[in-house]
Each structure stands twice: as structure tokens, then as C-alpha cells.
Amino acid sequence: MADYNNRPIIIKKVKKAAHAHHGGAWKIAYADFVTAMMAFFLLLWLISMTTPEQKQGLADYFAPPNISASTSGSGGVMGGTAMDSTGAQMSGSVASQVNADAPSPQDSAESSAADAASQSRAQDDIKSNQSQAFHSAAASIKQAWQAMPEITEIADNLLVEETPEGLNIQIVDQEGRPMFPEGSKFPFELTRKAIAAIAPILQQLPNQISISGHTAAGGVFSNPRYGPWDLSSDRANVVRSILSEFGLADDRIQAVTGRSTSDPFFPNDPYMAANQRVKITVLYDAPPVPPDMAF
């Protein structure tokens, strides 16, 4: 009993050791996982937004085929496939860029229609401006003739009018009142004065000028080697010479022609005296040529 009471009391204390610290490596792994998932979903979204042509372009960029998908023939070493320059092109190459930049048929049609409309407006504007200039020139010519009382008796022989080809100034014969002596290429003095008066006015216009001579049917010529073709040409050239003498530059003349009886003033009566005339035409400028048609 005594021995039991004298036994020493032993107290055992158990110390629990704490687990070792794992560090932050798991956070890095989790961040990499989240980033990869975001990239994956972003890739899916981008793929869903691209067109089949863009997808094919991406595929060709990363794995450019050496043989195109076109086929020809059957069998053979190449299994029915044919070499094609388009199949071996990398994305961004010259051929690829040309195809990408080529306009669609609809764009080409719209562009052509717009160009045609713009061209038509430009031509209308040019013709309108020239018409106004011709109207002013016609008024100036009539005023110049009215200021010359000595040519009043031939006023009915002088005609000025605007036509589709330009501004026509015609010096025509009347019954009993010719502007040239019979069979002569040189005009009467009054005719010469009327022609000289319009030269400075024509010089102010930038347009080219055409001069043509005309004769009436039934003319009689004493010289068998000199006929209506010669006379009409000579009269047109003499009128050109008078205009040049009184201020019209030679480079303003586009053509000097003789038409004989081929273009009568009165087609129903080619023998009328008025068919014998000289016509001075201030020509409308030619419309501008489209760029795609210029040589």
C-alpha cells in the first residue's frame, strides 16, 4: 500500500507538430489553368466569327498546300489533282492580295454607272458653257454687221444660227444678189467687208473652225478642167485667207473643204441660188475621253 502511494506520477505530454507550409505553387498553377481556359474560349469565339474563306486562309497560312484542290483528268500519278499557282500561294502574297482587292461584279457595275453619269454631266456642262459663248458670239457678229451701214443691202445674205454641230455663219447667194461674181473665187467687196468684220470675234472663241464651200446645181463652167468642186474649194480657201488677214490665227482652222453640190441648203431644189454659199462653222469641242478609253 505504502509502495503504491510512493510511486512517482509520470505525466506524458504529447506535442503535436504543425504541418509543413506548402507555399504558393498552387496559385500559379491555378492562374495558368484560368488563363488557358480564357484563351480557349476566346479561340472558340474567334473561330465562330470568321468566314469560311478566312478559315481557309488561316489554314493555308499555317499549312500551305503545294497542290491546289482543283482536279483534272482521272487517275494518274497525282490522283486526278493538277498543279495550280493559286494553291501554292501563302496568305499575303501578291496573287492573294490581287484576288482580295478585286472588285465584285456588283461594285464594278456601280462604279461604271457612276463614271458614266459623271461623264455625261461633264459633257452637258461643257456643251452648256459653249452654247452660252456661241450665243454671245452670235450677238456680237450681228451687232458688228449692223454697225456697218454699207452692207445693209446684203443683210439677208448673212445668216448666223446655232446648230448641233456648232455656230454656223453662212454667206449665201440670193436671187439677183450673189456674194461672189459668177464663176469667181474672189468675193465682192461688200462680202469681203462682212467676212473681215467677224474675224476678231471668232478669234476670241477657243473653238476650232471649219470652212466649207458649196455650189448650186446647173452651173456652167467654160473651162472643162475647172468645175464646181474646184470653185467651192477655192471660195472656202479665200474666205479662210480673209479671216486670217483680219485677225484669225491659222491654228484655229480645222478644215477647209469644197462640197460642190453634195450638200445643198435646199435639198428639194438644188438649183436655188441660196445653195451657193460658204459656211463657217465654229465647232463644239469634242467631249472628254474617259480614262479607261484613252490610248
**276 contacts: CB under 8 Å, gap ≥ 6:** 172, 173, 178, 180, 214, 215, 216, 219
- Domain membership of residue 157 (yes or no) is yes
pLDDT digits (tens, 9 = 90+) for 151-190: 999 999 999 999 888 999 999 999 999 999 999 999 999 9
d(CA 279, CA 172): 8
This prediction has a pTM of: 0.57
* Domain limits for position 273: 115-283
- Domain membership of residue 140 (yes or no) is yes
- Domain membership of residue 209 (yes or no) is yes
- How many degrees, rounded to 5, is the angle at CA 285 between CA 279 and CA 291? 150
Q: Which CATH number belongs to the domain containing residue 251 in this structure?
A: 3.30.1330.60
- Domain membership of residue 46 (yes or no) is no
- Domain membership of residue 145 (yes or no) is yes
- Domain membership of residue 70 (yes or no) is no
d(CA 269, CA 232): 18
Q: What is the mean pLDDT of residues 211-218?
A: 95
Q: Tell me how many domains the chain contains.
A: 1
Reported as a pLDDT band with limits 50, 70 and 90, residue 46 is confident
The helix/strand/coil state of 126 is: helix
Reported as a pLDDT band with limits 50, 70 and 90, residue 55 is confident
pLDDT digits (tens, 9 = 90+) for 75-110: 454 455 544 444 444 444 444 444 545 556 665 656
What pLDDT sits at residue 295? 46
Q: Is the pLDDT of residue 73 over 90?
A: no
Q: Is the pLDDT of residue 74 over 80?
A: no
Question: What residues are paired with 71 via a beta bridge?
Answer: 81
The mean pLDDT of the chain is 79
- Domain membership of residue 78 (yes or no) is no
What pLDDT sits at residue 8? 72
- Domain membership of residue 3 (yes or no) is no
Cβ contact 189:153 at 8 Å:
no
